[in-house]
Amino acid sequence: MSSGETSGGSGVGGNVSSEARVAPIWKEKAVIANHRKRIFFDNVAGVLAFACVFAVLVPLADMVFMFAYRGIQLLSIESLTTITIGSSSFVSGGLANAIVGTFLLIALAAAVTIPLGLIGGIYMAEFSNDGRLSEALRFAADVLAGNSSIVLGYVGYLVFVLYFGWGYSAAAGALTLSILMFPYVFRTTELALRKVPQSIREAAIALGSTKSTMVNRLVVRFAMPGILTGILLAVGIGLSETAPLLYTASFSNYIPTGALTHQPVGYLTYVVYVYSQLPSSGAHDLAYLASFLLITMVLTINVVARLGLRRFSKV
Amino acid sequence: MGDRAYKVVSALLGSSAFIFLFLILGVLLIFSYPSLIVNGIGFFTRVTWNPNISGSVTVIHGIRAMSNASYGMLVFFLGTLLSSGLALLIAVPISLGIAVFLTEVAPRRVSFGLSFFVELLAGIPSIVFGFWGFLVLGPFLKVYIEPGMATYLSFIPYFRGPVLSYGLPASGVILALMIVPIIASISRDAMSQTPLELKEAAMALGTTRWETTRRVVLPYARTAILGSVVLGLGRALGETMAVAMVSQSAVNLLPTNFYYPINSLAAFMAQTLDSAFTDPTSMEVYALVELALVLLAITTTVNIIARLMVRQGFISSAEHVVQV
């Protein structure tokens, strides 16, 4: 930084002419005061900027430690492998139904959304001519991503539960969730593919490869870490959603039997939302445990996606 | 598979973005139609939301509805605006502070670690934010912050007590925490792209680090920062579960001071649909779908604005989540 102005100036000022008795400008009080003021502001700004980081990290730490502290106390084989008993005034048992239900919903949603998003993203990066159509598709995906998740939940309820007559079910919940996750897979796949150097494509074409072989065998493989990052983060987003599932999957105390329609499914976020507001301590315990499980899963996914996969990036 | 077939199939699958969007819009329009006809323009200005299911069924404009039922979205609309506005007031300075710290102040290694933690915040489920707000933040604000504000800011009528709840303040702070990672990460990316020559030129003129940031870096990243703020606003306006857990669910009451319970469009929708099933004419369900339509219109408009403001390509609501 611009320090040192106030100190060593005598050597330069000394050999001007002897009649210059006035102090050099950098020794004038006003200049020094002004300089000190600016340095002071600089330091204050630095401290304030750090305070902003601090202001965000404290809640994050408090959240993680509080739920970890309560969650680890409640964590046991039993609480993970038994189902929830009771529903309103008295709740006990474990979270097996919600854990299995969460995995079922996410697996089904991923099975629908990954092919759509992945192949759609390949179209955007490799086949589209970057015209109006792809711009409109990108825009549609952005609107979908910016849409409130409860709006999507209503649409899922009206279409899948009522119009298709599936009732509260895994299929209704998972399809709603897949619409929510789609834009993330779609956009990150395109971004990851666009980062693959053009020379790789040219090399494949020069060796006589068709475009589809070039894309499938080469470009997609090079972009795989980026694509997987997008998929993982989309799974994390799906995992942490409540609103789209409230009126599509509803909730159930029982482990899903595999029926896709006409059978409500439990999931962890519902436990947090509803049980935290019930007046029984058994319900509160389950809400704490579910929060802990959610935080653990989502943070693991985020760490793996952001740090782990970066290492394998070939591009 | 032939190249042509590949192109056609992949284009069809990519078009699911359109299909989903039209599905959402179409379904909302069809199911809100009865409410649009019966409730008319008053839907936007009425305060009371009362399905009046114990009343009798009448026919209005050829559509069955409960007599004397009243559907108005003003409480929820106002609550949405107030909580999101408060969230922006808190989140924008903090996010800019974080972005400045990460790009201009901290050494590279520290910066890398810290931005990782800040972005982890974006991954925390909103329901967990809500639960934490309900357990920790709300009570903290109500006991330690709000009485102080009511005392020292009592010369402004809006901030005068009584301290009734942690509704609006807690909603605003929770939403702020949720949108800080969005604004901070996009701003940081934009600020770190400031050409080194510009910064060096400023430094050579003797500016301090803060003056360089203020006069060179922030103006350079201005559009991206504004875009990120609008994106954060879009997220705050549509946030459902966190607000549902801390807003203390006002119905039929307009807030008269800062400490009043509020409710947002999204939170009210999440809380109300199951009780709406008891309406024999389904009018409450249609009215709720109209709320969904209003919310879709708001978030879409905000997203379009964000997109128009930042045409630099590296910013979009889907991408900010995955940019490290």
Minimal CA separation from A293 to chain B, in Å: 11
- In this prediction, residues A99-124 reach a mean pLDDT of 96
Q: Which residues of A touch B295 (CB under 8 A)?
A: 148, 150-151
Instruction: Report residue A63's pLDDT band, with 50, 70 and 90 as the boundaries.
Output: very high
In this complex, do A146 and B234 lie within 8 Å of one another by their Cβ atoms?
A: yes
Last residue of a domain, one of A74, A109, A127: A74
Residue A3 included in any domain: no
Range scoring the smallest mean pLDDT among A30-34, A37-41, A67-71, B229-233: A30-34
Residue B317's nearest CA partner among A53, A117, A115, A140 is A140
Chain B residue closest in CA terms to A180:
B20
Class of domain B74-322: mainly alpha
Please give the structure tokens belonging to residue A201. Answer: 């494509």
pLDDT of B60-73, one tens digit each?
888 888 888 899 99
In this complex, do B97 and A148 lie within 8 Å of one another by their Cβ atoms?
A: no
Are A104 and A57 part of one and the same domain?
no
Residue B76's nearest CA partner among B318, B255, B226, B320 is B255
pLDDT at residue A246, rounded to an integer? 94
In this complex, do B273 and A158 lie within 8 Å of one another by their Cβ atoms?
A: no
pLDDT of A141-152, one tens digit each?
989 999 999 999
Q: Which residues of A touch B235 (CB under 8 A)?
A: 146
Are A112 and A21 part of one and the same domain?
no
- In this prediction, residues B196-213 reach a mean pLDDT of 91
Q: For chains A and B, what is the number of CB pairs under 8 angstroms? A: 299
Domain that holds residue A48: 10-74
- In this prediction, residues B237-260 reach a mean pLDDT of 90
Are A66 and A193 part of one and the same domain?
no
Are A225 and A289 part of one and the same domain?
yes
Q: What is the CATH number of the domain that holds A164?
A: 1.10.3720.10
- The full set of domain ranges for chain B reads 3-66, 74-322
pLDDT at residue A11, rounded to an integer? 44
Q: Which residues of A touch B31 (CB under 8 A)?
A: 158
Instruction: Report residue A13's pLDDT band, with 50, 70 and 90 as the boundaries.
Output: very low
- Whether the per-residue pLDDT at B305 is higher than 90: the answer is no
- Whether the per-residue pLDDT at B314 is higher than 60: the answer is no
Q: Which amino acid is at A284?
A: H
Range scoring the smallest mean pLDDT among A179-193, A269-283, B156-170: B156-170
Q: At which residue do the structure tokens 């993970």 appear?
A: A80
The residues facing B65 across adjacent strands are B58
Minimal CA separation from B1 to chain A, in Å: 7
pLDDT at residue A310, rounded to an integer? 62
Are A236 and A277 part of one and the same domain?
yes
Are A276 and A167 part of one and the same domain?
yes
Residue A120 included in any domain: yes
Residue B84's nearest CA partner among B227, B228, B241, B237 is B237
pLDDT at residue A110, rounded to an integer? 97
In this complex, do A62 and B98 lie within 8 Å of one another by their Cβ atoms?
A: no
Instruction: Report residue A305's pLDDT band, with 50, 70 and 90 as the boundaries.
Output: confident
Maximum mean pLDDT: which of A15-19, B168-172, B194-198: B168-172
In this complex, do A273 and B244 lie within 8 Å of one another by their Cβ atoms?
A: yes
In this complex, do A142 and B317 lie within 8 Å of one another by their Cβ atoms?
A: yes
Q: Is A18 on the interface with B (CB under 8 A)?
A: no
pLDDT at residue B134, rounded to an integer? 94
Residues A146 and B234: beta-carbon distance below 8 Å: yes
Minimal CA separation from A49 to chain B, in Å: 4
Nearest to A242 among B24, B235, B241 (CB): B241
Query: Is the preceding omega at residue A244 within 30 degrees of 0, hence cis?
Result: no
pLDDT at residue A313, rounded to an integer? 54
Percent of chain A topping pLDDT 90: 71
pLDDT at residue B312, rounded to an integer? 52
d(CA B45, CA B57): 24
Minimal CA separation from A142 to chain B, in Å: 6
Q: Which residues of B touch A212 (CB under 8 A)?
A: 1-3, 6
Nearest to B299 among A147, A215, A273 (CB): A147
Instruction: Report residue A309's pLDDT band, with 50, 70 and 90 as the boundaries.
Output: low
Mean pLDDT for all residues in chain A: 88
**Mutation test of the interface with chain A: which of B8, B120, B295, choosing the one with the most A Cβ atoms within 10 A?**
B120
Residue A35 included in any domain: yes
Instruction: Report residue A18's pLDDT band, with 50, 70 and 90 as the boundaries.
Output: low
pLDDT at residue A311, rounded to an integer? 60
Q: Which residues of B touch A42 (CB under 8 A)?
A: 208-211
In this complex, do B14 and A121 lie within 8 Å of one another by their Cβ atoms?
A: yes
- pTM for the structure as a whole: 0.90
**Mutation test of the interface with chain B: which of A25, A235, A242, A248, choosing the one with the most B Cβ atoms within 10 A?**
A242
Q: Is A218 on the interface with B (CB under 8 A)?
A: no
Q: Is B17 on the interface with A (CB under 8 A)?
A: yes
Instruction: Report residue B166's pLDDT band, with 50, 70 and 90 as the boundaries.
Output: confident
Long-range CB pairs of B299-304, under 8 A, 24+ apart, other chains included: B299/A146, B299/A147, B299/A148, B299/A151, B299/B234, B299/B237, B299/B238, B300/A143, B300/A146, B300/A147, B302/A146, B302/B230, B302/B233, B302/B234, B302/B237, B303/A142, B303/A143, B303/A146, B303/B231, B303/B234, B304/A143
Minimal CA separation from A17 to chain B, in Å: 27
Tell me B62's DSSP state.
T
Domain count, chain A: 2
Q: Which residues of A touch B120 (CB under 8 A)?
A: 60, 299, 302-303
In this complex, do B127 and A242 lie within 8 Å of one another by their Cβ atoms?
A: yes
pLDDT at residue A12, rounded to an integer? 47
Residue A114 included in any domain: yes
Residue A79 included in any domain: no
d(CA A224, CA A230): 10
Q: Is B74 on the interface with A (CB under 8 A)?
A: no
Are A253 and A227 part of one and the same domain?
yes
pLDDT at residue A4, rounded to an integer? 42
Dihedral, B86, B91, B94, B99 alpha carbons, nearest 10: -160
Nearest to B295 among A119, A151, A237 (CB): A151
Q: Is B275 on the interface with A (CB under 8 A)?
A: no
Mean pLDDT for all residues in chain B: 89
- In this prediction, residues A187-196 reach a mean pLDDT of 91
How many CB atoms within 10 Å of residue A217? 11
Instruction: Report residue A315's pLDDT band, with 50, 70 and 90 as the boundaries.
Output: very low
Chain B residue closest in CA terms to A295:
B124
pLDDT of A21-48, one tens digit each?
677 777 788 888 888 999 999 999 999 9
Q: Is B3 on the interface with A (CB under 8 A)?
A: yes
Last residue of a domain, one of A74, A94, A123: A74
- Whether the per-residue pLDDT at B90 is higher than 80: the answer is yes
pLDDT of B17-50, one tens digit each?
999 999 999 999 999 999 999 999 999 999 999 9
d(CA B284, CA B290): 10
In this complex, do A291 and B23 lie within 8 Å of one another by their Cβ atoms?
A: no
Instruction: Report residue A8's pLDDT band, with 50, 70 and 90 as the boundaries.
Output: very low
Q: Which residues of A touch B11 (CB under 8 A)?
A: 123, 127-128
DSSP H helices in chain B: 3-14, 16-39, 74-100, 108-123, 126-132, 138-140, 146-152, 167-192, 196-204, 209-212, 218-220, 222-238, 241-246, 265-276, 283-309, 319-322
- Whether the per-residue pLDDT at B324 is higher than 50: the answer is no
Are A169 and A264 part of one and the same domain?
yes
